[in-house]
C-alpha cells in the first residue's frame, strides 16, 4: 500500500445540484470548417456513463452521467469555485433530496469552462433525479501526498481511489495502470493553465493518423490515461521526461484544439512515473456503474 498523509487530509461536505444542459443556440464550426449544432455540456445524461466510449456520440464536449454545479448562474464565483477545487475523483456523492434520496455515486473529475463536477450515478438513479435535487459530495483529496515519493504530486484524487488504482512501486518509480499513452503533441485546449487543481485539458483528435497510431479513439469516459512529457505540478506545461496521469471527463470534440478532456490526478516533472497499459484502467472497473438498459427493457 502506498504511504500517504491520508489521516491528515481535510474532508468537506460540499453541496451541489445537477446543472441543466447548456447551449449558446448558435452554430459552431469544426476543425475542417464545417458548421454544426449538437448537444454539449451539462445535464443529467441518462444514456452515457463512465466506461462508455468517449467517441462516436452525436455531441461535442459531452459530459457523462450528471453534470453538477453549486450555482449555475455564477459558475466562476463562490461557492462553485470551492466545489471545483475540493471535489476529487472517487469522492462519494449522495443524493439528499427528491425521489432518488439516499442514492450514492461518485465524482469523476471536473470540466473547465463549463465549471462542472462530473458525477457518476447508475441509470436507475439518474432517471429519478431532477434539477432541483441536492447532492452532497464528501470532498477530500486536495493536499494528499505520497510520503515516500515527494517529487510526485497528487491533485483531485480521493485517497481511497488512489489505493485501488493498482499502482505498484518499483526501483523508486510508480508503475501506474493506464488505458492509453498520449504523446505531448496531442495536448491542446487548457495547456498553460496554472491551476491543476481545477478544470481539465484536452487531447486533440483532429489528425486521423495520430488518432489511429495511439488508439486515441478507444478512450472511454473514466479512463486513466498517461500524458507524456507533460508536467502539471505548477500548471499544465511541456517538460521532456515528465509524466502526468489523468482521468477522462468529457467526450471527443469537433472544435480545433479540442478532444476528450482530462482532469489531472498524478504528475511528476521527471520520469518517476511509468505508465503500464491495462485495458481495464478505468474508474468504472474499480468503483462500478456504467450505462444500463432501462428497467422495462430488462424485464422479460
**What residues are paired with 68 via a beta bridge?**
18, 117
Whether 152-286 and 9-140 are alike in CATH topology: the answer is no
- Give CA separation, 136 vs 78, 97, 105, 130, in Å: 16, 10, 10, 15
Q: How confident is the prediction for the chain on average, in pLDDT?
A: 96
| pLDDT tens digits, 141-151 | 999 999 999 99
- At the top level of CATH, the class of 152-286 is mainly beta
| pLDDT tens digits, 64-121 | 999 999 999 999 999 999 999 999 999 999 999 999 999 999 999 999 999 999 999 9
Q: Identify the three-state secondary structure at position 122.
A: coil
| pLDDT tens digits, 257-283 | 999 999 999 999 999 999 999 999 999
C-alpha cell at 236: 499544465
User: Could you state, in order of their start, the residue ranges of all structural domains in the chain?
Assistant: 9-140, 152-286
50, pLDDT greater than 60: yes
Those residues whose C-beta lies under 8 Å from the C-beta of residue 9, and which sit 6 or more positions away, are 140, 141, 142, 143, 144, 159
- Note whether 239 and 233 are within 8 A (CB): no
Cα–Cα distance measured from residue 57 to residue 53, given in angstroms and rounded to the nearest whole number: 8
Domain range 9-140, its CATH number among 2.30.110.10, 2.60.200.20, 3.40.50.300, 2.40.10.170: 2.40.10.170
pTM for this model (two decimals): 0.96
Amino acid at each position: 500500500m502506498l504511504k500517504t498523509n491520508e489521516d491528515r487530509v481535510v474532508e468537506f461536505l460540499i453541496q451541489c445540484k445537477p446543472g441543466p444542459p447548456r447551449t449558446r443556440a448558435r452554430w459552431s464550426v469544426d476543425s475542417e470548417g464545417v458548421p454544426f449544432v449538437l448537444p454539449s455540456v451539462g445535464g443529467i445524461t441518462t444514456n452515457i456513463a463512465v466506461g462508455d466510449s468517449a467517441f462516436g456520440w452525436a455531441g461535442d464536449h459531452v459530459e457523462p452521467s450528471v453534470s453538477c454545479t453549486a450555482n449555475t448562474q455564477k459558475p466562476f464565483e463562490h461557492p462553485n469555485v470551492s466545489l471545483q477545487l475540493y471535489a476529487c475523483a472517487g469522492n462519494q456523492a449522495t443524493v439528499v433530496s427528491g425521489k432518488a434520496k439516499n442514492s450514492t455515486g461518485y465524482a469523476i473529475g471536473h470540466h473547465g469552462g463549463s465549471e462542472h463536477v462530473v458525477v457518476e450515478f447508475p441509470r436507475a438513479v439518474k432517471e429519478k433525479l431532477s434539477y432541483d435535487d441536492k447532492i452532497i459530495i464528501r470532498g477530500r483529496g486536495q493536499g494528499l501526498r505520497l510520503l515516500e515519493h515527494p517529487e510526485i504530486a497528487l491533485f483531485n484524487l480521493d485517497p481511497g481511489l488512489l489505493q485501488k488504482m493498482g499502482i505498484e512501486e518499483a526501483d523508486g518509480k510508480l508503475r501506474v495502470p493506464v488505458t492509453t499513452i498520449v504523446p505531448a503533441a496531442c495536448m491542446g485546449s487548457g495547456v498553460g493553465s496554472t491551476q491543476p487543481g481545477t478544470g481539465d485539458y484536452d487531447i486533440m483528435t483532429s489528425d486521423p493518423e495520430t488518432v489511429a497510431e495511439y488508439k486515441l479513439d478507444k478512450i472511454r469516459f473514466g479512463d486513466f490515461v498517461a500524458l507524456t512529457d507533460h508536467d502539471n505540478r505548477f500548471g499544465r506545461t511541456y517538460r521532456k521526461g515528465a509524466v502526468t496521469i489523468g482521468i477522462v471527463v468529457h467526450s471527443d470534440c469537433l472544435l480545433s484544439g479540442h478532444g476528450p478532456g482530462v482532469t489531472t490526478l498524478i504528475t511528476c516533472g521527471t520520469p518517476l512515473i511509468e505508465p503500464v497499459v491495462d485495458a481495464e484502467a478505468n474508474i468504472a472497473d474499480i468503483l462500478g456503474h456504467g450505462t444500463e438498459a432501462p428497467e422495462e427493457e430488462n424485464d422479460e
